[in-house]
Structure 1
Amino acid sequence: MSLKKKLGMGVASAALGLALIGGGTYAYFSDTAEASANFAAGTLDLVANPTTIIDVKNIKPGDWMDREFTLQNNGSLDISKVLLETDYEVIDAKGDNAEDFGKYIEVSFLVNKDKKTEVVYKTTLDKLKNDKDDVVERDLLGWVLGGEPSGLKAGTSDKFSVRYKFVDNGKDQNEFQGDQLKLTWKFNAKQTAGQSK
């Protein structure tokens, strides 16, 4: 190895040694802090009780049926509204129906007893299919009568009464003999608006 290379290697080794010594003797203060976060989502849990509001046989035009049921908020979040969605299936026993059986099953009333509000007043199932009424909204009359505020708070329930009626139109309704109408009411709960936490 040439003298130049030996001198260059020596200088480089000396510089590296000084750097290591200087780095080892440099002192400073230090400290650390740690923060964590946890996000737990709440739940919406709406329960209808009973799940079968009505199961009746041998009805005839002019008959009416009164029933009661409860909607319970078993979740951890308040519910701002509960939309009623109506659907039904008609089972035509003889295959002779010229009309929709749902036109002759009337909801005479659907009352929220806690809100003191009449949610539905005299409409037939075929018309109710197109509506999405809020069953936990207190109207003006409910406010005057001292009904609970709109919505359904976590851990509370609302009681309802409903009357169904097989409308007698005063004409021949023989086409509906032996028929069945299977009604499904879906109660679709919506959360309250977001807020600062």
Structure 2
Amino acid sequence: MGIKKKLGMGVASAALGIALIGGGTFAYFSDSVTTQNTFAAGTLDLSVNPEAIVHIENIKPGDSVTKEFVLGNNGSLNIANINLITDYTVADAANNNVDDFGKHIRVNFLWNWDKESEPIFETTLYDLKNMDPDVVKKDLWDPFWQQNSGLAPGDTNELWVQFEFIDNGEDQNQFQGDNLSLQWTFNATQGDGEDL
């Protein structure tokens, strides 16, 4: 082995020895902490009172009825929209209907007192089946309508609705003894996600 190799090996060995000695004696401060984190999902809990908004017997053409009901948010999240879904079935007592009974029952208005808005104005149950109005939306003429729409946790909205059996001045005998079962589903949805 040449002198250069021996000298190089000696220097490398010395450097390794110093590193091992220095590494063994080198000390530093350290600390650690563990965090406990949770993600708890909020809830949407829509209520309606009363659950049966209208129950009428012996209705005849020209009769109308006005009813009041309350929608409430019992959940922990804001409800952005409550869309009304309409469905109904007709029991034809005499099996003689040539027209849909739902075309003869009109919703004259659905008024939200808390939003001062009218989500429904003069439409039949038949036509309402093809709509899904937002019943807690503030009227657009209000410059702050977006902030006032929806239903915050713990809030309620009082609504009034009027139904009318339309008297069309024609023979409506086909509906005698018939029964229309109306199902209204109030479909609540949350707002957009936000940076918390």
Pair in the same fold by TM > 0.5: yes
Mapping of residues 7-156 of structure 1, within 5 Å: 30-141=30-141, 143=142, 149-156=148-155
Mapped partners of 1:50, 1:86: distance in 2: 17
Residue 148 of structure 2 aligns to a residue whose secondary structure is: coil
CA distance in 2, matches of 1:134, 1:32: 52
TM-score of the aligned structures, taking structure 2 as reference length: 0.82
Alpha-carbon offset, residue 70 of structure 1 = 0.4
Q: How many percent identity over aligned positions? A: 49
Helix, strand or coil at the partner of 1:159: strand
Letter of the aligned partner of 2:88 in structure 1? Y
The aligned residue for residue 193 of structure 1 is 192
Deviations 1:12-63 (CA, angstroms, capped at 9, x unpaired): xxxxxxxxxx9xxx57555432122100000000001000000010000000
CA distance in 2, matches of 1:113, 1:33: 54
**SS of corresponding position for 1:189:** strand
CA distance in 1, matches of 2:42, 2:34: 27
Deviation digits for residues 112-136 of structure 1, max 9, x if unmatched?
Answer: 0111111111000000000010000
Does residue 162 in structure 1 map to residue 161 in structure 2?
Answer: yes
The count of aligned residue pairs is: 171
AA in 1 matched with 2:174? E
- After superposing on structure 2, the runs of 4+ consecutive aligned residues of structure 1 that deviate more than 4 Å are 26-30
Q: CA deviation at 1:149?
A: 1.2
In structure 2, C-alpha distance between the alignment counterparts of 1:109 and 1:88, rounded to whole Å: 18
With normalisation by structure 1, the TM-score equals 0.82
Q: CA RMSD in A?
A: 2.0
**Structure 2 gaps, min length 5:** 1-19
Write the distance in 2 (CA, Å) between the matches of 1:35 and 1:69.
Answer: 47
